[in-house]
């Protein structure tokens, strides 16, 4: 009897020993990752990287404005220097040709007052020429300083461009973790560039104004019609290759920097492919510049709409 009880207790202990690691493992196990949360975190990280890109882009544009202003100053200074240099050269030639003529004016005068008047006119001419020579020397000094400043600004702009390229790679890396699901229609609208990274960069930029949001994605990514409407294509100037949708809602939608048009001008449905991401025009990297013009008028900040449909 005692032996049976001992065997029973041993069996209970063996079962308990086997169960303890199981309970311990379950208690210490990390919760399963939430795919939805992971996608949201990845999208947030990509958008944060896009915001950094926008800040660097603003600095790049400001440097461009400063460089243009310095170049204009140098151009005006060089034109004035050419004028002053001609005066100085003419004065030197006259002085060489008419060496000693100043005394002749006095000696050849018919009376003292005529001689004094001629001498005064000559003094004023000499003073004017001397000022021109002095102005030329000062202007040359200013031009040398401006050229040094221009060189420094151009170097800083190139450094900033390198930063933009590096940040573009950061965005691409983060976008690789952003899942892109099937196209979704929200209130009759579709995200114009699903899976893109973007921030609210509408507003002043340098000396100009940025009338839309830049949406970052790899070159060649398909751009979609944001809603139904009449599609046309055309040169956007600094925006490069442009696509334009006269929406059935009465608003105008603008796409810039395309690398390729898809199809002919036509009436499109929401989600229809209309072009490919590129960097044509004044672009520092591949992206879609997207604008909304209510009623076909001036632009509004598209960020609230993009945040809702993308």
Where residue 284 sits, what CATH number does that domain have? 2.70.70.10
Band the pLDDT of 37: cuts 50, 70, 90: confident
Residue 5 maps to a domain: no
Nearest CA-CA partner of 262 in 225, 299, 310, 208: 225
Residue 187 maps to a domain: no
pLDDT score of 78: 82
Residue 143 maps to a domain: yes
Residue 24 maps to a domain: no
Torsions phi, psi for 57 (to 5 deg): -60, -40
pLDDT score of 88: 66
Please check whether residues 231 and 269 belong to one and the same domain.
yes
pLDDT (tens digit, 9 = 90+) per residue, 196-245?
A: 999 999 999 988 999 999 999 999 999 999 999 999 999 999 999 999 99
Please check whether residues 93 and 167 belong to one and the same domain.
yes
Residue 185 and residue 266 in contact, taking contact as beta carbons nearer than 8 Å: no
Within 10 angstroms of residue 217's Cβ, the number of other Cβ atoms is 25
Higher pLDDT residue, 22 or 155?
Answer: 155
pLDDT score of 1: 42
Please check whether residues 169 and 214 belong to one and the same domain.
no
Residue 247 and residue 277 in contact, taking contact as beta carbons nearer than 8 Å: no
**Domain limit, last residue, from 115, 145, 175:** 175
Higher pLDDT residue, 129 or 154?
Answer: 154
pTM of the entire predicted model: 0.73
Q: Please enumerate in sequence order all residues whose Cβ is within 8 A of that of 182, keeping only pairs 6 or more positions apart, or say none.
A: none
Please check whether residues 155 and 251 belong to one and the same domain.
no
Please check whether residues 204 and 155 belong to one and the same domain.
no
Residue 225 maps to a domain: yes
pLDDT (tens digit, 9 = 90+) per residue, 179-188?
A: 888 889 999 9
Least confident of 56-60, 77-81, 156-160: 77-81
Please check whether residues 53 and 146 belong to one and the same domain.
yes
Torsions phi, psi for 301 (to 5 deg): -65, 115
Please check whether residues 264 and 211 belong to one and the same domain.
yes
Q: What gap in Å lies between CA 147 and CA 80, rounded to an integer?
A: 16
Nearest CA-CA partner of 257 in 231, 238, 244: 238
Higher pLDDT residue, 143 or 98?
Answer: 143
Band the pLDDT of 18: cuts 50, 70, 90: very low
**Domain limit, last residue, from 113, 143, 175:** 175
Please check whether residues 102 and 154 belong to one and the same domain.
yes
Band the pLDDT of 125: cuts 50, 70, 90: low
Q: What residues make up the domain containing 169?
A: 38-175
Please check whether residues 48 and 168 belong to one and the same domain.
yes
Q: Which two tokens stand for residue 22?
A: 């199981």
Please check whether residues 169 and 83 belong to one and the same domain.
yes
Residue 182 maps to a domain: no
- For 61-68, which contacts have Cβ atoms below 8 Å and span 24 or more sequence positions? 61/205, 61/206, 61/207, 61/208, 62/206, 62/207, 63/153, 63/156, 63/157, 63/160, 64/157, 64/206, 65/206, 65/207, 65/208, 66/153, 67/150, 67/153, 67/154, 67/157
Please check whether residues 163 and 203 belong to one and the same domain.
no
Please check whether residues 166 and 209 belong to one and the same domain.
no
Please give the tally of structural domains in the chain: 2
Domain CATH number, residue 55: 1.10.287
Residue 3 maps to a domain: no
Residue 109 maps to a domain: yes
């Amino acid at each position: 009897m005692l032996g049976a009880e001992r065997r029973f207790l041993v069996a209970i202990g063996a079962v308990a020993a086997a169960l303890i690691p199981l309970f311990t493992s379950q208690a210490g196990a990390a919760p399963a990752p939430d795919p939805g949360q992971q996608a949201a975190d990845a999208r947030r990280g990509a958008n944060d990287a896009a915001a950094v890109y926008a800040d660097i882009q603003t600095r790049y544009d400001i440097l461009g404005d400063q460089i243009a202003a310095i170049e204009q100053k140098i151009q005006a200074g060089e034109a004035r220097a050419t004028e002053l240099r001609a005066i100085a050269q003419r004065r030197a030639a006259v002085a060489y040709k008419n060496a000693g003529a100043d005394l002749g004016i006095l000696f050849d005068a018919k009376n003292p007052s005529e001689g004094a008047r001629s001498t005064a006119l000559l003094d004023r001419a000499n003073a004017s020429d001397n000022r021109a020579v002095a102005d030329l020397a000062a202007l040359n000094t200013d031009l040398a300083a401006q050229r040094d400043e221009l060189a420094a600004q151009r170097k800083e702009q190139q450094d900033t461009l390198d930063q933009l390229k590096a940040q573009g790679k950061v965005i691409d890396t983060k976008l690789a973790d952003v899942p892109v699901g099937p196209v979704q229609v929200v209130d009759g609208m579709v995200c114009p560039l699903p899976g893109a990274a973007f921030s609210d960069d509408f507003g002043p930029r340098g000396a100009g104004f940025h009338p839309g949001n830049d949406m970052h994605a790899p070159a060649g990514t398909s751009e979609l019609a944001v809603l139904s409407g009449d599609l046309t294509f055309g040169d956007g100037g600094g925006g490069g290759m442009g696509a334009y949708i006269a929406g059935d809602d009465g608003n105008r939608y603008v796409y810039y920097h395309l690398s390729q048009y898809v199809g002919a001008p036509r009436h499109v449905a929401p989600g229809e492919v209309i072009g490919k991401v590129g960097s044509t025009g004044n672009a520092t990297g591949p992206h879609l510049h997207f604008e909304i013009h209510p009623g076909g008028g001036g632009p509004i900040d598209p960020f609230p709409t993009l945040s809702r449909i993308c």
